[in-house]
Amino acid sequence: MPAQPQTGPIAGRLPAETLAANFADLHPPLSAHEARVAADRCYFCHDAPCVTACPTSIDIPLFIREIQAGRPETAAREIFEANILGGICARVCPTEVLCEGACVREAAEGKPVEIGLLQRHATDSLMARQGHPFTRAAPTGRRVAVVGAGPAGLACAHRLARYGHEVVIYEGAPKPGGLNEYGIAAYKAVDDFAAREAAWIMGIGGIEVRHGQWLGREVTLEALRAEYDAVFLGIGLSGVNDLVVENPALEGVHDAVTFISALRQTRDLTTLPIGREVVVIGGGMTAIDCAVQARALGAESVTLVYRRGRDRMGASRWEQDLAAQRGVRLLFEAAPVALEGEGRLTGVVFERMAEGPEGLRPTGERFTLPADQMFRAVGQRIGETSGVETAHGKVVTQGCGRTTMDKVWAGGDCAAGGDDLTVTAVAQGRDAAEDIHGSLTE
Amino acid sequence: MADLTTRFLGIESPNPFWLASAPPTDKEYNVRRAFEAGWGGVVWKTLGAEGPPVVNVNGPRYGVLHGPDRRVLGLNNIELITDRDLETNLEEMARVKADYPDRALIASIMVPCEEAAWKAILPRVAETNADGIELNFGCPHGMSERGMGSAVGQVPEYIEMVARWCKQYYDRPVIVKLTPNITDIRKPAEAARRGGADAVSLINTINSITAVDLDRMAPEPTIDGKGSHGGYCGPAVKPIALSMVSEIARAEATRGMPISGIGGITTWRDAAEFMVLGAGTVQVCTAAMTYGFRIVEELCAGLSDWMDEEGYRSTADFVGAAVPNVTDWKNLNLNYVAKARIDQSLCIKCGRCYTACEDTSHQAIAMTPDRVFEVIDAECVACNLCVDVCPVESCIDMVPMAPGSLDPRTGRVVSGEHGDWTTHPNNPMAQAAE
Ligand SMILES: Cc1cc2nc3c(=O)[nH]c(=O)nc-3n(C[C@H](O)[C@H](O)[C@H](O)COP(=O)(O)OP(=O)(O)OC[C@H]3O[C@@H](n4cnc5c(N)ncnc54)[C@H](O)[C@@H]3O)c2cc1C
Ligand SMILES: Cc1cc2nc3c(=O)[nH]c(=O)nc-3n(C[C@H](O)[C@H](O)[C@H](O)COP(=O)(O)O)c2cc1C
Ligand code: SF4
Ligand code: SF4
Ligand code: SF4
């Protein structure tokens, strides 16, 4: 008789081979022939809606045509010109709501051109050569501090370095990449891609990264403003929103981002503990990724509970379907009110919610889900801001990332205006760099 | 199920689909399997004169032009005529014909341009009981360097002469296969008729280089670092072949001469197009070489279904039916005015029509800020480019303007009368209407 699955977060629920399969590349790369066939489907549209839908405005028809003509590396240059993180974007962008969602073939047949996979084909081809495709302009002697080595910081630093400015990145974490390294679902960035990409970006030269440098601790904004010609803040959202429930301090209750970060940094996934009956609270990409990866680690049941209706979920329909396919149960219009257990979590009590014109309203009807592990994924918020003006939890910016503080720019998740996506962070970092460059060469 | 039985020069075959003289018909093994698969006839791979046969290269002999997903659009070859000896071929032909008396079996021949050579081979071919012969005046590579193939086909006087010898020394139908590597295809066809040939078949392959290897700096296919031009065939040559067939079908000097149509035929529709332009049978090579013998099932089923739909009882009912509508440009009605019309419910807003018209035509398509594309009638000359580049079938239509309505481009009222260049005021040669 097989042993009864054990309760409580424990490691090694699945053998290594199963884990390897569960965490394999979500969208395996196209072969050269597949890429040609996929590229042939592009109509080379005029004023292409896919380009409009790409936050970094990559010239999609042109790069696809270059693949079609047998020059994936030429295509990659075209991509990197607009988006130096085109490699990770090809893997993590919710293309179904961005470029592919706007593709005319999506409208025509419900089968868009596979822009993401083609972008990956091109960027992989070029990066496989290891050569960095751009050369740095002659040094200008101007110096810029970039805080945070996430997508926004890296994009900003690269563009500035290309113009010949000297860039020093102050990063608190031990590795560069931001959420590419610590947040994105493991199966979206396999084979240590985030670290490889960051190293490849540094190939431009003129960028120094100082790790273990937290703004507000090891370094102050005052000092940076004094030492550098400009400062760019790309610090993302380092705070985590709290969940107000009765009895919150039980063993088995975690923040989703902490769990994901640990997962991303664990080499041997058989050593990572996971519960048997897991509950995830939240409705965004983080909640979905947390739930899917909990299942992939071997949790017997995973239930994602979102307080509003399906349509209001931050995660796209495609992401929701992915979760459902991977065995995650999605529950809508219910909010946690209390946690059960003595010392250890044993269950979560929910109250059904109703969404009406006056907003979200508790109905009084309650139910309990047994749970030995629960993850909170109810949003991140800005952390250290060192006196820069914020509003609605974001740094206030005007135009291309200028904050209201002299010599300070901001972009990415920490700044207003983006969609909290990798690609919007890249766009904002890049555009801020252009603006900084403009102001330095005035 | 319409009856596809076809009579061509008195030769009956169960359907009009013959395999052209080429590798598919190179030997008994192939031809038996082709007949089993359902082909109506074959033109046996071209025979050469008695003696040591020609030799082929031992490296790649084909080059290719690919469309999307490596679809074969065009093939080129540097193969010569049969490289097996005459006796073997003749014995095999005789055996196959005896076993398949209901199928057409035509012998293709290419021997030097000397009366003795033809006089020698024709009785041998007659002994096989083949239904007729086809004179290969078309092969554009290799054989032409030796004064045969297209080297003969490009000189109408030679064609006439050889055709006459053949009619003299052979008593069954003689078909002359024409090379397209010539400026005016009507000239060799007229020569064939003058020489007494019963029919022409066309086209043979077109001089071509399909690709150049940029590493080796040599044309493909490349043999030990060098390449030679080859003969082009397959879907890409169909438009050229159709035009040539139609020219012969409508020219006064050759009108009514039976034609076997060849060139890029891949589906039943291609075959039907050749036939309505005057071809009594069609011959297929590249499509069979790409997909195998079984395509004949689709050819037969498709043609027969179409005939049923149209009410044709036999292929003779529609052979040549489109010939009267092939005319010279000067006879086209210049008073006919059409305008492009975009069906907004089908439009997927790719903007291709806009770019094509804006960049390279008449700036007659407007785009609104929210990407709605509309034709500007005052600019549209009805050139059809937008229709051709639109990825959605039937999304753009060419709508004729009713006589009496005002063409906003010219400011003139559309006339219901026919008016062509021959009487147009801008034509210095115009004959004034009496
Ligand atoms: C779990 C999860 C999954 C996601 N999945 C996707 C996805 O599939 N697709 C997608 O497009 N987006 C996804 N996102 C969103 C995406 O990761 C972010 O939008 C993007 O990383 C934002 O980039 P950034 O550079 O602004 O911030 P971050 O990536 O957060 O980088 C900020 C960097 O700044 C550093 N930092 C922070 N504070 C300080 C400080 N005080 N001093 C020094 N350094 C500091 C951090 O260590 C980090 O390296 C996901 C987010 C999460 C949390
Ligand atoms: C490999 C190859 C060899 C050929 N050999 C001959 C030949 O020996 N005699 C001949 O008359 N035509 C020859 N042809 C021409 C074909 O019979 C035919 O005219 C031509 O391929 C056009 O038809 P298609 O487009 O259906 O291929 C050859 C064609 C190919 C591809
Ligand atoms: S919308 Fe689609 S078809 Fe048009 S250019 Fe973009 S990818 Fe190509
Ligand atoms: S088709 Fe391929 S395997 Fe067959 S003879 Fe030709 S090269 Fe050889
Ligand atoms: S080419 Fe066709 S589908 Fe594309 S915009 Fe024009 S009419 Fe619409």
Indicate if A349 and A396 belong to the same structural domain.
Answer: no
Q: How confident is the model at residue B149 (pLDDT cuts 50, 70, 90)?
A: confident
**A406-440 pLDDT per residue, tens:** 999 999 999 998 889 999 999 999 999 999 999 99
Average pLDDT over residues B61-88: 95
Please report whether residue A315 resides in a domain: yes
Indicate if B347 and B313 belong to the same structural domain.
Answer: no
H-run or E-run covering B162: helix B156-169
Indicate if A189 and A286 belong to the same structural domain.
Answer: no
The CATH number covering residue A347 comes to 3.50.50.60
The burial class, CB within 10 Å (0-12 / 13-18 / 19+), for B50 is: middle
Q: Which ligand is closest to the CA of B137, given by its number? A: 2
Indicate if B159 and B125 belong to the same structural domain.
Answer: yes
pLDDT over 80 at A6, yes or no: yes
Indicate if A316 and A433 belong to the same structural domain.
Answer: no
Q: How confident is the model at residue A5 (pLDDT cuts 50, 70, 90)?
A: confident
Indicate if B133 and B273 belong to the same structural domain.
Answer: yes
Q: Nearest residue on chain B to A35, judged by CA atoms?
A: B69
Residues of A in contact with B391 (CB under 8 A): 43, 108
Examine the fold and report which residue of B302, B325, B348 is the final residue of a domain before the chain moves on.
Answer: B325
ipTM for this prediction: 0.85
Q: Nearest residue on chain A to B351, judged by CA atoms?
A: A46
- Cβ under 8 Å to B: A residues 26-45: 33, 36-37, 40, 43-45
Number of domain units in chain A: 3
Average pLDDT over residues B342-368: 97
**A333-378 pLDDT per residue, tens:** 999 999 999 999 999 999 999 988 888 999 999 999 999 999 999 9
Mean pLDDT of chain A: 95
Average pLDDT over residues A288-299: 97
The C-alpha atoms of residue B260 and residue B252 are separated, in whole angstroms, by: 18
Residue B311's pLDDT is 97
Residue A193's pLDDT is 97
Indicate if B249 and B381 belong to the same structural domain.
Answer: no
Please report whether residue A19 resides in a domain: no
The CATH number covering residue B277 comes to 3.20.20.70
Residue A244's pLDDT is 86
Indicate if B343 and B309 belong to the same structural domain.
Answer: no
Residue A2's pLDDT is 55
Indicate if B251 and B306 belong to the same structural domain.
Answer: yes
A with B: how many residue pairs have Cβ under 8 Å apart?
A: 34
The C-alpha atoms of residue A53 and residue B232 are separated, in whole angstroms, by: 44
Indicate if A252 and A346 belong to the same structural domain.
Answer: yes
Instruction: DSSP letter for B25, please.
Output: G
Residue B431's pLDDT is 66
Q: How confident is the model at residue A1 (pLDDT cuts 50, 70, 90)?
A: very low
Ligand 1, atom 17, lies closest to the CA of: A179
pLDDT over 50 at A171, yes or no: yes
Please report whether residue B205 resides in a domain: yes
Please report whether residue A359 resides in a domain: yes
Indicate if A57 and A114 belong to the same structural domain.
Answer: yes
Please report whether residue A8 resides in a domain: no
Indicate if A192 and A262 belong to the same structural domain.
Answer: no
Please report whether residue B385 resides in a domain: yes
Indicate if A369 and A420 belong to the same structural domain.
Answer: no
Q: How confident is the model at residue B146 (pLDDT cuts 50, 70, 90)?
A: confident
H-run or E-run covering B97: helix B86-99
For residue B332, the tally of other CB atoms under 10 A from its CB is 11
Please report whether residue B100 resides in a domain: yes
Please report whether residue A17 resides in a domain: no
Ligand 5, atom 1, lies closest to the CA of: B390
Q: B392 CA distance to ligand 3 centroid (A)?
A: 14
Indicate if B307 and B362 belong to the same structural domain.
Answer: no
List phi, psi (to 5°) of A87: -70, -50
Average pLDDT over residues B3-28: 97
Number of domain units in chain B: 2
Indicate if B211 and B298 belong to the same structural domain.
Answer: yes
Examine the fold and report which residue of B261, B290, B325 is the final residue of a domain before the chain moves on.
Answer: B325
Ligand 5, atom 7, lies closest to the CA of: B347
Indicate if A198 and A227 belong to the same structural domain.
Answer: yes
Indicate if B25 and B139 belong to the same structural domain.
Answer: yes
The C-alpha atoms of residue A132 and residue A207 are separated, in whole angstroms, by: 14
What is the longest distance spanned by two Cα atoms in chain A?
Answer: 77
Interface test with B, best of A30, A36, A44, A45 (most B CBs within 10 A): A45
Residue A208's pLDDT is 98
Examine the fold and report which residue of B325, B357, B389 is the final residue of a domain before the chain moves on.
Answer: B325
Domain holding A309, by residue range, is 240-376
Examine the fold and report which residue of A332, A355, A376 is the final residue of a domain before the chain moves on.
Answer: A376
Which of B68, B350, B392 lies at the smallest CB-CB distance from A45? B350
pLDDT over 80 at B424, yes or no: yes
H-run or E-run covering B87: helix B86-99
The preferred substitution site among A50, A78, A115 for testing ligand 3, maximizing ligand atoms within 8 Å of CB, is: A50
The C-alpha atoms of residue A93 and residue A100 are separated, in whole angstroms, by: 10
Indicate if A247 and A367 belong to the same structural domain.
Answer: yes
Q: Nearest residue on chain B to A109, judged by CA atoms?
A: B348
Please report whether residue A303 resides in a domain: yes
Residues of A in contact with B69 (CB under 8 A): 36-37, 40
**A326-340 pLDDT per residue, tens:** 999 999 999 999 999
Q: B314 CA distance to ligand 5 centroid (A)?
A: 41
Q: How confident is the model at residue B155 (pLDDT cuts 50, 70, 90)?
A: very high
- A367 contacts chain B (CB < 8 A): no
Beta bridge partners of A361: A354
Catalytic residues of B, which ones?
139
Residue B143's pLDDT is 72
Please report whether residue B321 resides in a domain: yes
Indicate if B298 and B361 belong to the same structural domain.
Answer: no
- A49 contacts chain B (CB < 8 A): yes
Q: Decide if A104 and B348 are in contact by the 8 Å CB cutoff.
A: yes
Taking the C-alpha atoms of A69, A72, A77 and A83 in order, what is their torsion angle to the nearest 10 degrees? 110
Please report whether residue B433 resides in a domain: no
List phi, psi (to 5°) of B406: -95, 125
Please report whether residue B284 resides in a domain: yes
Q: Which ligand is closest to the CA of B61, given by its number? A: 2
- A105 contacts chain B (CB < 8 A): yes
Indicate if A356 and A323 belong to the same structural domain.
Answer: yes
Percentage of chain A beyond pLDDT 90 is 91
Q: A92 CA distance to ligand 3 centroid (A)?
A: 19
**A212-269 pLDDT per residue, tens:** 999 999 999 999 999 999 999 999 999 988 888 888 789 999 999 999 999 999 999 9
Ligand 2, atom 6, lies closest to the CA of: B22
**A125-136 pLDDT per residue, tens:** 999 987 899 999
Examine the fold and report which residue of A358, A376, A394 is the final residue of a domain before the chain moves on.
Answer: A376
Please report whether residue B144 resides in a domain: yes
The CATH number covering residue B370 comes to 3.30.70.20
H-run or E-run covering B275: helix B268-276
Indicate if A353 and A264 belong to the same structural domain.
Answer: yes
Examine the fold and report which residue of A94, A127, A160 is the final residue of a domain before the chain moves on.
Answer: A127
Taking the C-alpha atoms of A86, A87, A93 and A98 in order, what is their torsion angle to the nearest 10 degrees? 40
Q: Decide if B68 and A40 are in contact by the 8 Å CB cutoff.
A: yes
Residue A68's pLDDT is 95
Q: Decide if A105 and B392 are in contact by the 8 Å CB cutoff.
A: no
Domain holding B381, by residue range, is 329-423
**B275-290 pLDDT per residue, tens:** 999 999 999 999 999 9
Indicate if A199 and A291 belong to the same structural domain.
Answer: no
The helix/strand/coil state of B135 is strand
Indicate if B334 and B317 belong to the same structural domain.
Answer: no
Please report whether residue B396 resides in a domain: yes
Q: Which ligand is closest to the CA of B392, given by its number? A: 5
Please report whether residue A22 resides in a domain: no
* Reported pTM: 0.91
pLDDT over 70 at B139, yes or no: no
Question: In the structure, which protein residues have their CB atom closer than 6 angstroms to any atom of ligand 5?
Answer: B 342, 347-353, 373, 390, 392, 395-396
Q: Nearest residue on chain A to B358, judged by CA atoms?
A: A46
The CATH number covering residue A42 comes to 1.10.1060.10
- Of the two residues B433 and A147, the one the predictor is more confident about is A147
The helix/strand/coil state of B362 is coil
- B68 contacts chain A (CB < 8 A): yes
Distance from CA of A119 to the nearest CA of B (A): 19
Mean pLDDT of chain B: 95
Indicate if B382 and B413 belong to the same structural domain.
Answer: yes
Please report whether residue A389 resides in a domain: yes
